[in-house]
A and B are shown apart, each in its own frame.
Chain A
Amino acid sequence: MDYFRFTFQAATVALLLGGFWTVAALHAAKESPTTIGISPQKVADYIHAILEADRTFYTSHIVNRLQEKGIVASTEQWEQDNTLPLPAQFLQHSGRLVAESGSGIRYRLIGFSPIYQRNAPATEFERKALDVLKRQPDRPVTGIVSSGKKQYFQAIYSDRAVSSACITCHNSHPLSPKQDFKLNDVMGGIAIIIPLE
C-alpha cells in the first residue's frame, strides 16, 4: 500500500510541479518588462484545468480500477486503513503540499455543506461566489480580495460530483449536513488564490 501512496504522491508532485513550472514561467514572462503580461484569470484557468484533469485521471484510472479489481479501496481514513485517499482528499492534500512548497498559489475545495467545517466558505466573497455558482456553474467567479494590505486574485470554479465516490461519501458521512447529492450536482467549488504582487 505504501507503494500506492508513494505513487500517488510522486504523481501528484510531478504533475503539480509541471503545472506550476508553467505558471511560474508565465509569471516570469509577465514580470519581465519586455514580455506581454498574462492575466491572473488565465493563470487560474490553466491551474483549474490541471487540477480537474489530475483529479479525473486519479479517480477514473487509479481509484476506480483498483477498487473494481478489489486490490485496494479508497477511504477517508486512508492513512490509518492503508488505502487510497478519496479524490476530494487527493485535491485537498495536494493543495496543502502546494501551499507548503511556498510558491504562493493556493487552492482548496469549499462548499456550503462541507463534512468538515474548515471547508466552509471563509469569506463573504467565497459565500457569494458559491451562491452564483449554484445558478451559473459553467463560469468561474473571480475577483480581487485583500487581507490587510495584501491583495490576491481569487477564482472560484464550480465543482460537480464527478464520480459516485463523491456522492456516496457525502451522502453517508455522519458529519455531512446534506445527504441528498446526486451525480453531477454542483457540490461546491474549487477556490484558487494567486497573490497579486
Chain B
Amino acid sequence: MTTTPTSSLSGTRWGLKTKVILSMLLVGIIPLVVGLGMAFWQGSQEIREISGESFKALATEAARKLDLLVVEEISHTARIAHDPTIIRELERRRDASSDPKRSISALADLEQRWTERDPAALKSLTGNTLSALLHEYYAGVYSPPGQLLPQVVRASTKMLFLTDAQGALVATMTDHPAFRHQDTRWWQGAFNKAVGQLYIEDIRFDDQVNTYVFTISLPIMDSLRYETVGVLHHVIDAKEFFSPSTHAIRFGKTGHVMLIDTNGIVISCPILPTGVPLSDRNLTPLVTPQHPGWVEASSDGHGGQSTSVIGFAPLLETSRATNGSIDSGSWHTFVWQSSDELFAPIQHLLTWVMVFGAVAIVLLASLGYVAAGRIVTPVRQLQQAAQAIGRGELQTPIQINTGDELEDLAREFTRMNTQLKAAFAGLTDQVKLKTQEFQVLQQSTDQILDAVPTPIVLIDSHQIVRYINQTAREAFSVRETSSDTSLFSILSLDPGVQKQLQTEFQMNGGTSATMPDIERETAPRDPLQPRTDHEPAGHRSELPIGSRIYHYQWFRLPTKPGEEDSIGLVLRDITDESRLQDQLVQAEKTGSLGVLTAGIGHELNNPLFGIIGLGEILQDEQDLEHIKSYARDIVAHGRRMATIIRDFTGVTDREASDKPVSVPVEEVLDKALATAQATVDMNDVVIHKTYAGHTPVLVLPDQLRQAFVNLLTNAIHAMKGTGALTLTTVVSDHMVTTTIADSGPGISKQHLSKVFDPFFTTKEQGEGSGLGLTVARRIIRKFGGDIRIECVEDRGAACHVTLPINTSTPPLGDTWTTSASRSKPQPSHSS
C-alpha cells in the first residue's frame, strides 16, 4: 500500500482526521461563542440595570441633598423676613402709603436719583438701618451659635434687598438692584396678592451681576401674619451655590451629578457651563419627570451620541416653589457616566475571555490533532487490512492494541479473513471438481453429437461456426474448423437458397423453424385443383446441397448470461425419403386416375351399352314409330352421358358473364334449397332457417347456388330424407358464415378427412360421383371463402361456408334477379 485513499481523495473531500479536528473545534467554539455572546449581553444588561439603579439612587440622594441646601438657604433668608424691625418698618411704610398726605413725588424723586446713581440716594438706601440689618444677617450676626453661614453660601449671594408692598426698593446690600419691582414676576409671585408665597425664580442670566443666578423671594408678612407688607429678594449665583455640592460627587473618570431645570438648562455641572441647554433636546423630557428613575437614552446630553444610562430625580421641595408652582418649573438632578467607562469592565472581560477563548481554540486544535491521530491511525490500518483482504493478500493478523472497539473490530477482521480463506479453499476444490465434471459432460456431449448420424452445426449470431459434429464434417467434407469459419462457407448452396437461409437466420430462425407439414405433404392432392396456392420451393425446410437434399431445422441454444444465444442447425438427409415420397404421390395419382377412369367408365357404360343395344336394334328395325322411339331413347342416353361428363368437369352451367355480382347469400341459399327440393324427396324433412338478413357477397350466383345445392343434397341424403335441416347465416368481421346442418348419422372420423377428396363417396356405386363436395369447395374458394365440415357422430354434420361480405358496392338485387331468371334450374347429382 503506497498511497492511502484518504490522501488521494483529500482534494475532493475531507478526511476523517480533518473531520475529527473540525468536530472538536466546533464543539469547543460554538459553546464558547454562544456563551461569550450571552455573557456579554447578560453582563451589559446587568451593568445597565445595576448602573441605572445606582444612578437613580445617587440622583435621588443628590436631589435630596440639594433640596436641603435650598431649603436651608430659604430658612436662612426667612429668618430675615421674620425680623420684627423689618416688619415694623414695612408696616409703617404700608400705613404711610395708604395715607393720602404722603408725597408721591418724593418717591419718584428718590427713584430718579437712584437710577442716576446719586451718592446721597445710594447712601439713603444702602446705608439705612434695614440695609445695615441685612448686612448683619449676611455676616451671620443673628445666626444661632454654631450655625454660621458657610463661606460658599455667603459668597454666592449676589444681591439681597427688600421692597415694600408697592414693589419699591426699601433696603439693599448692594447698589445693583433696580428701584421698582412691582412688575417683575418674582415680586408678583412672592407678593401674591398680599397673601405672600415663597417664589424661587428659575435660572437666568443677570446683567447686573454678570452671571447665571437663581433667586429666592420671600414675602414679609405683617405682625399678625395677615398680609404681605414687603418682599425679601435673595439673588444667588447658581454655579457658586451648587458647585460645592454637585462637583464633589464624582465617580470614575466621567461619572458626575448635575442639576438641570425642567427646560434642560444646566444649573450646575462639573463639565458643562451653567446656563447652556442639554445638547440633546429630546433627552430633556426623558429625564425630567416628577419622580426618580433611570433611563437608557440614545445620547448623553453632553454632546456624546453613544447610548447612555442616566439616573435622574426631582428636587421635590425646591420644585414646589420654582416659578411659583411645581407646574411652572422644576429642578432635577442628572447622573451620568460615559458609556465607554460604564461598560469598560464588561469589555475588559470580553477581551480577556476572547484571549482565553483563542488559547482554548489552539489547545482544542492541538488536542484534536492528537486525538484524531489516535483515532484515525488504527482506522487506516483497518482500511489497509480490508484492502489486503479484498486482494487476498492479508497473511498476518492485524495488530491494533487500542483497547477499545477498534481493537475488537481488528480482531473481527482477522477472524473474518481466516474464515474467508477457509471458505475460499473449499470453493477452489469445488470449482476443480465441477470443472472436471463439466469437461466430462462436454466430452460425452461431443461424443454423443458425433455419434448422431445427422449433421449438426452450432453457429453464433455472426454466422460463425462454433461446433460441427462428425457426421456434418464428413457430409460437407470439412476437415478442420477454424475459429472464424462461416456457415455458408461450409454449406455449398445456391445463391437463392443461401439468401433464403440467411433471411431465416436473421429472423432468429431458431424460433421460426418449422417442421414440414408431413400430413399435408402426404395427403393426396386434388388433381383437378390448379396449383395456384402452391408454396414456393424455398419455403420448404429443404436444402439441396450438392446432390443431396436435406431437411433442416433451427434451434436456439441458451448460453451464458450476457452472451448472445447460439443457434443450432440440424440437417437431415431426406434425399431418399423425398424420392420415395414423389414415387408415392405419383402412384397415388395413378391410382386416382384409375378410380376416375373406373367411375367414368362405369357411369358411361350403362347408357353407352343402351345406345349400342338400341343402335343394333335400329339396324334391323323397319317400323318408323319404333325407330323414332329408339332414337329418342338414344338421345336420352346421350343426354345422360353428357350430364355425367358435365358433373365430372364441375361445370354445370357456363355463366353468361364471368363477372361476379353482389347478391344476398340468403337468397342464393333459398334458391338452392328450391332446386334441391325439386330433385330430392324431402317431404319428411323439417327446415329451420335463421338468417342474418340480406348479406351481400360478390359471387357468380349460379355457381354458388350449385355449391349450395351440392351441400344441401348431401345433407338430405345423409338424413335419408327424414330429419331436420337447419340453415343459418351469421355475419362476423367482414365474413358471412352459412351453416347447413343436418340431423343425420354424421361422418365418421376416418372419413372426415377425406370428404373433400375427389371421387370419395360413401354411397353405392352409381349413386354419387364423389365430386359434389370437391366441386363445392372449389367454387367457394374461388370466391375467397372456405368450407369446412364439423361433425359429431350420431348427431349429424354441419357444413360451414364462409364468404367475404361485399361491403364496397350497393346491393345489386336486380342484376342477380336478371341473372337468376336466365339460369335454368339444373338437376344435381351430388355425392
Q: Which residues of A contact B (CB under 8 A)?
A: 79-80, 96, 99-100, 102, 106, 122-123, 145-150, 152, 154, 193, 195
A147 touches B222 (CB 8 A): yes
Considering the chains assembled together, what is the distance between the CA atoms of A145 and B193 in angstroms?
22
List, sorted by A's number, 18 A–B pairs whose CB atoms are closer than 8 Å.
A80-B316, A99-B194, A99-B195, A100-B192, A100-B195, A106-B226, A122-B221, A122-B223, A123-B225, A146-B224, A148-B88, A148-B92, A148-B94, A148-B222, A149-B95, A150-B95, A154-B224, A195-B226
Q: Looking at the complex, which one of B94, B193, B316 makes contact with A100 (CB distance below 8 Å)?
A: B193
Contacts A79-B326, A148-B92; is A193 near B193 (CB within 8 Å)? no
Minimal beta-carbon separation of A152 from chain B (angstroms): 6
Contact A147–B290 (Cβ < 8 Å): no
Which of B195, B290, B316 has the largest count of A CB atoms less than 10 A from its CB?
B195
Cβ of B91 under 8 Å from chain A: yes
Query: A148 with B91: in contact, given A80-B316, A123-B223, A193-B224 (CB under 8 Å)?
Result: yes
Q: Is the CB of B95 within 8 A of A148?
A: yes
Measured in the bound complex, the distance between the Cα atoms of B20 and A109 in whole Å is 89
Q: Is the CB of B91 within 8 A of A147?
A: yes
Q: Which chain A residue shows the least CB distance to B75? A: A117
Is the contact region of chain B dominated by helix, strand, or loop, or is it mixed? loop
Task: Closest A residue to B92 by CB, please name it.
Answer: A148
The 5 A-B pairs at the shortest CB distance, nearest first, are namely A148-B91, A122-B225, A147-B222, A99-B195, A149-B95
- Shortest Cβ distance from A146 into B: residue: B224
**Chain B residues within 8 Å of A96, by CB:** 195
- A136 smallest CB distance to B (angstroms): 23
Contact indicator A102/B224 (Cβ below 8 Å): no
Given contacts A100-B195, A152-B226, A193-B226, 20 further A-B contacts (CB under 8 A): A99-B193, A106-B226, A122-B224, A122-B225, A123-B225, A146-B224, A147-B91, A147-B222, A147-B224, A147-B226, A147-B227, A148-B88, A148-B92, A148-B94, A148-B95, A149-B95, A150-B95, A150-B222, A150-B226, A152-B224
A107-B41 Cα distance, complex, nearest whole Å: 62
Q: How far, in angstroms, from A154 to B226 measured CA to CA in the complex?
A: 11
- A152, B226: Cα distance in complex, Å: 9
Min Cβ gap A5→B in Å is 12
CB neighbours of A193 from chain B (8 A): 224, 226
Q: Which of A146, A147, A149 has the most CB of B within 10 A?
A: A147
A172 to chain B minimum Cβ distance, whole angstroms, is 19
Within 8 Å CB of B95, what residues of A?
148-150
Docked complex Cα distance between A100 and B221 (Å): 14
Q: How far is the CA of A74 from the CA of B225 in the complex (A)?
A: 28
Question: Are the CB atoms of B195 and A145 closer together than 8 Å?
Answer: no
Whole-angstrom CA separation of A152 from B193 in the bound complex: 19
Is B326's CB under 8 angstroms from A102's CB?
Answer: no
Contacts of B221 in A (CB 8 A): 122
User: Of residues B88, B91, B290, which shows the largest number of chain A Cβ atoms within 10 Å of its Cβ?
Assistant: B91
A145 contacts which chain B residues (CB < 8 A)?
224
B223 cross-chain contacts in A, Cβ below 8 A: 122-123, 147-148
Closest CB in chain A relative to B81 CB, distance in Å: 11
| A171, B42: Cα distance in complex, Å | 47
Q: Which residues of B sit under 8 angstroms from A147, Cβ to Cβ? A: 91, 222-224, 226-227
Which residues of chain B are near A146, meaning CB under 8 Å? Answer: 224
Q: What's the count of A-B pairs with C-beta under 8 Å? A: 46
Shortest Cβ distance from residue A189 to the other chain B in the assembled complex, whole angstroms? 14
| Shortest Cβ distance from B225 into A: residue | A122
- Report yes or no: A102 in contact with B193, Cβ–Cβ below 8 A: yes
Across the interface, which residues of A come within 8 angstroms of B225, CB to CB? 122-123
Cβ < 8 Å to A, chain B residues 48-84: none
A89 nearest CB across to chain B (Å): 14
- From A80, which residue of chain B is reached at the shortest CB distance? B290
Q: Which residues of A contact B222 (CB under 8 A)?
A: 147-148, 150
| B227: chain A residues within 8 A (beta carbon) | 147
Complex CA gap A149/B94 in Å reads 9
> How many Å lie between the Cα of A79 and that of B321 in the bound state?
13
Rounded to whole angstroms, the CA-CA distance of A195 and B88 in the bound complex is 19
Q: Could you tell me the distance in whole angstroms from the C-beta of B140 to the nearest C-beta in chain A?
A: 21
Query: B102 → chain A, closest Cβ, in Å?
Result: 13
Shortest A94–chain B CB gap in Å is 13
Residue of B whose beta carbon sits closest to that of A108: B225
A127: min CB distance to chain B, Å: 13
A93: min CB distance to chain B, Å: 12
A120: shortest Cβ distance to chain B, in Å? Answer: 10
Q: CA–CA, A106 to B228, complex, Å?
A: 13
Q: Which residue on A lies nearest to B87, using beta carbons?
A: A147
Residue of A nearest to B90 (CB): A148
**Contact status B193-A123, CB under 8 Å:** no
Interface set, chain B 70-129, CB cutoff 8 A to A: 88, 91-92, 94-95
A195 to B222, CA, bound (A): 13
Chain A residues positioned under 8 Å from B316 (CB to CB):
80
**Alpha-carbon distance A195/B316, docked complex (angstroms):** 36
CA distance A159 to B743 in the complex (A): 151
Q: From known contacts A99-B195, A102-B193, infer whether A123 and B290 are also in contact, taking CB-CB under 8 Å.
A: no
B686 shortest CB reach to chain A, Å:
123
Bound-state CA distance A155–B224 (Å) is: 13
Contacts of A99 in B (CB 8 A): 193-195
Closest chain A CB from B286 CB (angstroms): 19
Residues of B within 8 Å of A106, CB to CB, are 226
| C-alpha gap A88/B326 in the complex (Å) | 21
Inter-chain contacts of B193 with A (CB < 8 A): 99-100, 102
Cα-based distance from A146 to B192 in the complex (angstroms): 22
- A152: chain B residues within 8 A (beta carbon): 224, 226
- Give the docked Cα–Cα distance between A112 and B195 (Å): 23
Closest to B195 in A: A99
A48 to chain B, nearest CB (A): 18
Distance in Å from the Cβ of B92 to the closest Cβ of chain A?
6
Closest to A77 in B: B316
| Chain A residues positioned under 8 Å from B326 (CB to CB) | 79-80
A154 to B194, CA, bound (A): 18
A-side contacts of B94, CB under 8 Å: 148
- The complex places the Cα of A79 from the Cα of B314 at a distance, in Å, of 14
- Bound-complex Cα distance A80 to B225 (A): 28
In B200-255, the 8 Å CB interface with A consists of 221-227
A146 to B222, CA, bound (A): 10
In this complex, what residue of B is CB-closest to A124? B223
Q: Residue on B with the closest CB to A106?
A: B226
B195 A123 Cβ-Cβ under 8 A = no
A102 vs B290: C-alpha distance when bound (angstroms) = 32
**Least distance between B394 CB and chain A CB atoms (Å):** 92
How far, in angstroms, from A99 to B194 measured CA to CA in the complex?
8
Q: Which parts of B287-305 form the interface with A (CB within 8 Å)?
A: 290
- A154 proximity list for chain B (CB < 8 A): 224
Q: Which of B88, B91, B226, B326 has the most CB of A within 10 A?
A: B226
- CA distance in complex: A38, B40 (Å): 83
Central interface residue in A99, A100, A106, A146, by most chain B CB within 10 Å: A99
**When chains A and B are docked, how far (Å) is the Cα of A146 from the Cα of B95?**
12
With both chains docked as a complex, state the minimum distance between the C-beta of B197 and any C-beta of chain A, in angstroms: 9
Measured in the bound complex, the distance between the Cα atoms of B230 and A148 in whole Å is 14
B192 & A123 in contact (Cβ 8 Å cutoff): no
Contacting residues, chain A, for B224 (C-beta < 8 A): 122-123, 145-147, 152, 154, 193
Shortest Cβ distance from A195 into B: residue: B226
Give the docked Cα–Cα distance between A50 and B316 (Å).
Answer: 34
The complex places the Cα of A152 from the Cα of B224 at a distance, in Å, of 9
- Residue of chain A at shortest CB distance from B325: A79
Query: Which residues of A lie under 8 Å from residue B290 when comparing CB positions?
Result: 80
Residue on A nearest B290 in the bound complex, by CB: A80
The CA-CA distance from A102 to B192 in the complex, in Å, is 11
Whole-angstrom distance from the CB of A68 to the nearest CB of chain B? 27
Report the minimal beta-carbon distance from B88 to chain A, rounded to whole angstroms: 8
- CB-CB under 8 A from B192, the residues of chain A are 100
- Nearest-Cβ distance from residue B170 to partner chain A, whole angstroms: 15
Q: How far is the CB of B631 from chain A (nearest CB, A)?
A: 162
**Distance (whole angstroms) from the CB of B218 to the closest CB of chain A:** 12
The distance from the CB of A190 to the nearest CB of chain B, in whole angstroms, is: 14
Chain B residues near A195 (CB-CB < 8 A) = 226
